[in-house]
Amino acid sequence: MRITQTSSGRGVSAPPPNATQMRLHGRWLLLARGVWLALVILTLAIFFASLPVYLVQLQTPCAGSACAYQQLSPEQVVVLKGLGFSTSDYATYTIALALAIMVVCFVVSTLIVWRRSDDRMALLVALMLVTFGPIFVTSTVPASSPLQIANECLYFLALSLLVLVFLLFPTGQFVPRWTRWTAVVGLAVQVPSTFFPNTPFTLHTHADTLGYLVLLGEAAILVVVQLYRYRRVSSPLERQQTKWVVFGLAVPLIVYLGGTVLSLIFPALAEASSLYGAPYQLALNTISFGLLLLLPLSFGFAMLRSRLWEIDVLINRTMVYGSLTALLVALYVGLILALQALVHAMTGSFSEQPLVVVGSTLVIAALSQPLRRRLQNIIDRRFYRQKYDAVKTVETFSATLRNEVDLSQLRDHLLNVVQETMQPTHVSLWLRPPEHDRTHRAPWRANPPVSPEGR
């Protein structure tokens, strides 16, 4: 059977006609590598110079509601001490996470430069990762620090590279062409709020608020542009690259937004002075900060084009087990509250609370596998319909194969299965004739007798 596959398959797509224009050669390549190396040295110098100031800030509780990112409130300090941890332990742990993110960013950036530094898009991603790694430390340094100007320049450079990467990704071209002007306008508006936040011009004209609104608008444009590229422009290979980057960005964002929405539903979680608010906010910040490791890793897989098609399996498993975890947690909490209310109504006390917890745990354990299978089927039908239909088609053909004896009907079934599952442009089936038919049809030639004279 010969199958001619369409362009929607897994094969690596051919490079675009202008792919050679996106390559760097000769002195331009050496200059690009030199710029990357200079940026690495400058970024490391700013990072390690800002690290002592950041360490002091993590060990100092914030006053009132003006807390920097990852800075502890007085209520969270009390919670940490109740758990047996000091502010020094928290600062060490937070800096270890920041160093892990920076190391991963620099390692991935180095691999991209080593393997694909001649690709302008890959080089731009490598530069962005260099500035992205230490930005969580350098951008939180107080304004009174002498390193403030260097930190502001690094922040603006990281923001500029981030906007350019998402506007150009994955082809390295502005699609549509007018999007280049959105980057110019968006970054120009950020200049007053970034470099001159306390000047009369910025304070009197509300440039800070305007910059924030423009930044939100730029983020919306980036989302629309990537959707347009994915649906109308990208090849199958480029779509897999986009999936990797979207996955690395979406997971920490969804976790943080989900935790924020949960604190809005339950106001006690948002209050730092409440019993659950301080540890909840502390855990949410730590988890969302640690999940940022996915972003440089996803860019690494996308630009190095390694294991591109495994992202489909990863997204599928994330959706299944993420939904399963959220559903089981909601059921667990609901069961505990309902059973406690039932026990309280029957006995007038909460003395049976351990039994309630054990019973709820057993119920959740019994429901985990059926719920997982049900969620897997729902997600496959809703988001992976083509794969789901292909699996069902193959299963149906396997059942038919056990009972079918007519060769012509079996041939028709086989062609239909190949057409529905692989969707080729052409299918042809060649059946090898039986052994006795090929022997019977082959021409038979006897060796003629050889005369003595002919020897």
**CA 85, CA 77: separation in Å to the nearest integer?**
9
SS3 state of residue 325: helix
Alpha carbon separation from 398 to 391, 401, 421 (Å, rounded): 11, 5, 14
Long-range contacts of 176-182 (CB under 8 A, 24+ apart): 176/225, 176/228, 179/221, 179/225, 182/218, 182/221
Angle, CA 34 vertex, CA 29 and CA 37 arms, to 5°: 130
CB proximity list for 132: less than 8 A, separation 6 or greater: 105, 158, 161, 162, 295, 296
Q: Which of 97, 45, 49 lies closest to 69 in space, CA to CA?
A: 97
Q: What is the pTM of this model?
A: 0.71
- Per-residue confidence (pLDDT) for residue 63, from 0 to 100: 72
Helix (H, G, I), strand (E, B), or coil: what is residue 427? strand
Cis before 176? omega within 30? yes
Q: DSSP secondary-structure letter at 133?
A: T
Q: Where are the alpha helices (DSSP H) in 133-175?
A: 135-138, 148-168
Say how far apart CA 335 and CA 319 lie, in whole Å.
24
Q: What per-residue confidence (pLDDT) applies to 284?
A: 79
Residue 104's pLDDT is what? 92
- Quote the pLDDT of residue 49: 86
- Pairing type for strands 426-428 and 2-4 reads antiparallel
Token code pair at residue 47: 């990072």
Question: Apex CA 364: angle with CA 344 and CA 339, to 5°?
Answer: 5
Whole-Å CA distances, 241 to 246, 355, 381: 9, 50, 24
Q: How far apart are CA 93 and CA 80, in angstroms?
A: 13
Instruction: Give CA–CA dist 280/268, Å, rounded.
Output: 10
Q: Which of 128, 125, 117 is nearest to 23 (CA)?
A: 117
One digit per residue, the tens of pLDDT, for the chain of length 455 reads 544 444 444 433 344 444 445 677 788 888 988 999 999 999 999 888 888 888 888 888 877 656 777 777 777 787 778 777 788 888 888 888 889 889 999 999 999 999 888 888 989 999 999 998 888 777 776 666 677 788 888 888 988 999 999 999 888 888 888 888 988 888 888 888 777 777 776 666 777 778 788 888 888 999 999 999 988 888 888 888 888 898 888 888 888 888 888 777 777 666 655 556 667 777 777 888 888 888 999 998 888 877 777 777 878 888 888 888 888 888 887 787 777 777 767 776 655 567 777 777 888 888 888 888 888 888 777 766 555 555 666 666 666 666 665 666 667 767 776 666 655 666 676 766 666 555 555 454 444 444 444 43
Q: In degrees rounded to 5, what are phi and psi of residue 133? A: -55, -55
> Would you list the domain boundaries of the chain?
24-171+234-308, 339-383, 387-431
232 burial type by CB count under 10 A (0-12 exposed, 13-18 middle, 19+ buried): exposed
Is residue 257 within a helix (H) or strand (E), and if so which, with residue range? helix 236-265
CB 271 within 8 A of CB 281: no
Q: How far is CA 353 from the centre of its chain?
A: 40
* H/E element, 233: none
**Which helix (H) or strand (E) segment is 359 a member of?**
helix 353-383
Specify the residue for token string 């988890």: 287
Surface-to-core class of residue 444, CB atoms within 10 Å of its CB (0-12 exposed, 13-18 middle, 19+ buried): exposed
C-alpha neighbours within 13 Å on the C-beta side of residue 136: 23
Output the CA–CA distances (angstroms, integers) from residue 39 to 33, 154, 322, in the order listed. 10, 10, 38
